[in-house]
Chains A and B, each alone.
Chain A
Amino acid sequence: MIDLIQNTLDGVMIGSSYALLALGFTLIFGTMRRLNLAYGPTIMAGAYLGTYASLRLGIGALPVALLVIVGAALVGLYVERLCFRPFGEGAVMASMISSFAVWMQIEEAATLAMPRHLNAFPPLITSAPIALGPYFFRADHLLMLIVAAVVAGLVYLALYHTRFGLGVRTVIDHRRAAELVGVPTERIMMLAFVLASSIGGIAGFLIAAGDGQITPMFGMWATTKGLIAMMLGGLGSVPGALLGGLALGVIETHAQSLFGPQVRDLIAWGLLFAVLTFWPGGLLGTRRIARAAAVQRRM
Chain B
Amino acid sequence: MDDYLVGVLSNIGIISFVALSAYVLLLAGEVSFGQQAFFAIGAYAAGMASAMLRWPLAPALCLGALIGAVAAVAVGRATLRLTGLYFSMATLAFAEMVRIAFEIFTLQVDIGGSRVGPNGPDGFGDIRYLFENEITSIQYLCAIYVLLAMVLAGFFMLERSRAGRMLRQAGTDAVLAELQGVRVVRVRLIAAAAAGALAGLGGGLYAHLLTYVEPGNFNIMLGVHSLAYGLIGGLGTAFGPVLGVLIDIGLLESSRLFAGYRMIVFGGLVAVLLIVRPRGLLDERAVHRISTYVKGLFDALAARRLDRSLRRR
In the complex, are there CB atoms of A and B closer than 8 Å?
yes
A108 and B263 contact, CB distance less than 8 A: yes
B93 and A273 contact, CB distance less than 8 A: yes
Chain A residue, CB-CB nearest to B232: A97
**With a CB–CB cut-off of 8 A, which chain A residues contact B104?**
262-263, 266
Does B279 touch A at the CB level, under 8 Å? Answer: yes
Of A29, A107, A108, most buried by chain B (CB within 10 Å of CB) is A108
B220 to chain A, nearest CB (A): 6
CA distance A209 to B57 in the complex (A): 52
Interface residue tally of chain A, by bracket? 35 or more
Does B177 touch A at the CB level, under 8 Å? Answer: no
Does A91 touch B at the CB level, under 8 Å? Answer: yes
Does B267 touch A at the CB level, under 8 Å? Answer: yes
Chain A residue, CB-CB nearest to B263: A108
B268 and A105 contact, CB distance less than 8 A: yes
B276 to chain A, nearest CB (A): 9
Known: A100-B228, A269-B100. A83 touches B271 (CB 8 A): yes
Partner of A105, one of B97, B221, B264, B274: B264
A94 and B278 contact, CB distance less than 8 A: yes
CA distance A112 to B261 in the complex (A): 8
Partner of B231, one of A94, A262, A272, A277: A94
Main secondary structure on chain B at its contact with chain A? helix
**With a CB–CB cut-off of 8 A, which chain B residues contact A262?**
100, 103-104
Does B270 touch A at the CB level, under 8 Å? Answer: yes
Which chain A residues (245-274) contact chain B, with CB distance < 8 Å?
Answer: 262-263, 265-266, 269-270, 272-273
A-binding segment of B3-11, B78-86, B147-155, B179-187: B78-86
Does B96 touch A at the CB level, under 8 Å? Answer: yes
Known: A98-B270, A101-B228. A273 touches B94 (CB 8 A): yes
**With a CB–CB cut-off of 8 A, which chain B residues contact A227?**
89, 92
Does A123 touch B at the CB level, under 8 Å? Answer: no
A86 and B275 contact, CB distance less than 8 A: yes
A273 and B85 contact, CB distance less than 8 A: no
Offer 17 A-B interface pairs, CB within 8 angstroms, sorted by A.
A83-B271, A86-B275, A94-B231, A97-B274, A98-B271, A100-B224, A100-B228, A101-B228, A101-B267, A102-B267, A105-B264, A108-B261, A269-B100, A272-B89, A272-B93, A273-B78, A276-B90
Question: A: which residues have CB within 8 A of B?
Answer: 29, 35, 37, 82-83, 86-87, 90-91, 93-98, 100-105, 107-109, 112, 220, 224, 227-228, 231, 235, 262-263, 265-266, 269-270, 272-273, 276-277, 280
